[in-house]
Chains A and B, each alone.
Chain A
Amino acid sequence: MDRGGPAGARRHVLLLPEYLKDASKKMKSGLMFVKLVNPCSGEGTIYLFDLCLQQLFEIKVFKEKHHSWFIDQSVQSGGLLHFATPMDPLFLLLHYLRKADKEGKFQPLDQVVLDDTFPNCILLLRLPDLEKLLQHVTEEKNPEVDKKKYYKYSKEKTIKWLGKKVQQTVSALKTNNVNVSARVQATAFFSGDPFSSDKEEDYVCYAHGLISDYIPKELSDDLAKYLKLPEPSVPLPSPPSKLDLLTGHFVVAAQRQKRGK
């Protein structure tokens, strides 16, 4: 790790949605990077919260060997490019709902989203329309004794919800002309190809891989069954997320470096 003093200050190159700039006119604070649980791996990952827009963003990093930036009159090693893109908070809520489901009872949300390791998870409770979101993955009870709603994880509803996510991802893959496999490339030359059902399956496989980056392995396997994907005889070359992006460590790297000084 370099300790070059102020001259060695780390620069982060980040792509942000343009509307954050406009929204920032109205606020003086409320944009923050926090570490939350990664719903796929269970490890800590950096997310961006906008409490003004009440939106959650995930951070992905493009990282390839042998790259560096020239930024005006300076050089920055690593050549990292960070992306902040809107994230469906339901993937994160699902992590907590599944955990709480081990107790097998209906619970209010503020007793579900608790985390000693990642205490910033309470920020999730400040996002809007949570009740509406939760309908996709939970059964709920609304006892008359208090105003709170009580939730319980529903695997059936979750799988159905994930199936819809796969469908809308398939559409996006098609409109963006993403190469989902060598086979797609080949069949693309023949319009009205009689084996076009194969092609559809490649898209579904690819989309399933992308969604699987946001859910635990167990749920990913159940989703594959629901989608009737062929069981891979050899493990697929990991989720076919060919964009070479990693979930971000971003600011934390800077924090460690700082503390080390």
Chain B
Amino acid sequence: MESSEEAAVEKCRVHLRPGTLRDAARATLHLLPCEVLVNRPAPVDRFFTPAIRQGPDGLEVSFRGRKLRGEEVVVPPGLVGYVMAMEEQGEVSMEKDFSEGDEREEQERAEPREALERDFDQFIGAIASFSRFTLWGLETIPGPDAKVRGALTWPSLAAAIHAQVPED
């Protein structure tokens, strides 16, 4: 049972809808220094955003009674931030049948669908984009050694690791 399910995952392709990359509205993101164990809507603009103050060294806010300090972090040059979500299966077939009908037909003429997409494939789309986010630390602003800052240098290193080497 487990193995057949695993096999489906290995074969599956998750198609990223290119159009969503262009149309994604700007989102406001905060990276909090604590774990909130749910994924759900939250009234951020009612409680969190209005409480943000510009302090002497950066932004200040409190969350669940603890003081947070933060600053804006810009996405590294050449990159764009996206928030992505999987499409529900039903949603996909609806779209196929109705809303994108014409466009789909056009696409299928240009490039046969079966060449890339299969029945068991899934779809993901960007629902928002961002070019900066606010990084928060408990009591103090996360310093230059913060792990997330290190991670943001990754794309420039990756470029060197994966660049083609010169021929002899």
Contact = CB atoms under 8 A, between A and B. Distances in A.
B160 A77 contact: no
A242 to B, nearest CB: 7
Nearest to A164: B165
B50 interface: no
A19 B22 CA distance: 11
A181 interface: no
A75 B16 contact: no
A112 to B, nearest CB: 19
Interface in A115-156: 117-120, 133, 135-136
> A11, A27, A133: which has the most chain B beta carbons within 10 Å?
A11
A28 interface: yes
A178 to B, nearest CB: 7
B124 A8 contact: no
Interface in A13-40: 13-21, 23-25, 27-35
B22 A11 contact: no
A49 B83 CA distance: 18
A20 B107 contact: no
A29 B9 contact: no
Interface in B105-146: 107, 110-111, 116-117, 122, 124, 127-128
A73 interface: yes
A165 B80 contact: no
B44 A72 contact: yes
Counting chain B residues whose Cβ lies within 8 A of the other chain, the interface size class is: 35 or more
Interface stretch (A59-67, A96-104, A186-194, A195-203): A59-67
B58 interface: no
B111 A67 contact: no
A114 interface: no
Interface string B76-117: 101111111110100000000000000100010011000011
Contacts of A83: 151, 154-155, 158
B165 A71 contact: no
Contact of B148 (A2, A81, A171): A81
Nearest to A73: B44
Contacts of A12: 83-85, 124
A105 interface: no
Given A16-B21, A73-B45, A75-B39, A11 B83 contact: yes
